[in-house]
Amino acid sequence: MATTTEKLRLDKYLWAIRVFKTRTQAAAACEAGKVKMNGVAVKAARAVSIGDQYDIKTEARKWKVEVTGLLHNRLQYSEAIKYYIDITTEEDKQFNQRVAATFYTGKRPSKIGRPTKRERRNLDEFMDGDEQ
């Protein structure tokens, strides 16, 4: 673990503890106001200190973490979790489970949207038969 006098950017810390997959995503979340300290949005370049508490909102879940150590490089998950304490409330954990159960797969739901070629032919036959 590093000493408290070293400087570490917030986006780099969030990337190193594996909250975000890339440092760019961490910086974008900070710029979008999705990372807060004491209810105030913080910038990506903010220096992280031991004892800081951050509220983080990602696409997958809400986090509330307390910094226990400064991590400059990305490590495997089992090592990275030693550098923060997850103090997420039970209410937010329930929200996280609800969101995960209804994720978007990219496919359109069945029987919604544009008709298939077969359905369009049936419609055309039906409409043409109506004119005679």
Give 77-112 pLDDT, tens digit per residue. Answer: 999 999 999 998 877 777 666 555 555 566 666 667
Residue 85, strand partner residues:
66
Q: Which residue has the higher pLDDT, 92 or 70?
A: 70
- Predicted local distance difference test score (pLDDT) of residue 107: 66
- CATH code for the domain in which residue 91 is found: 3.10.290.10
Query: Which has the minimum average pLDDT: 99-103, 120-124, 128-132?
Result: 99-103
- Predicted local distance difference test score (pLDDT) of residue 34: 95
Average predicted confidence (pLDDT) for the chain: 85
pTM: 0.67
Burial 60-72, CB ≥16 within 10 A → b, else e: ebbbebebeebbe
Look-up of token digits 């550098």: 83
The secondary structure of residue 118, as a DSSP letter, is H
Q: Is residue 28 part of a domain?
A: yes
**H-only helix segments in 40-131:** 77-80, 90-101, 117-131
- Predicted local distance difference test score (pLDDT) of residue 4: 47
**Alpha-carbon 38 to chain mean position:** 20
Q: How far apart are CA 44 and CA 4, in angstroms?
A: 18
- Predicted local distance difference test score (pLDDT) of residue 115: 81
Q: Which residue has the higher pLDDT, 109 or 6?
A: 6
Residue type for position 51: G
Look-up of token digits 């220096």: 47
Q: Is residue 51 part of a domain?
A: yes
What's the number of domains the chain is made of? 1
Q: What is the pLDDT of residues 52-64, one digit of tens each?
A: 999 999 887 888 9
- Predicted local distance difference test score (pLDDT) of residue 65: 94
Pseudo-torsion of CA 115, 117, 118, 123, nearest 10°?
60
Structural domain for 57, as ranges: 10-131
Q: Is residue 25 part of a domain?
A: yes
Q: Is residue 120 part of a domain?
A: yes
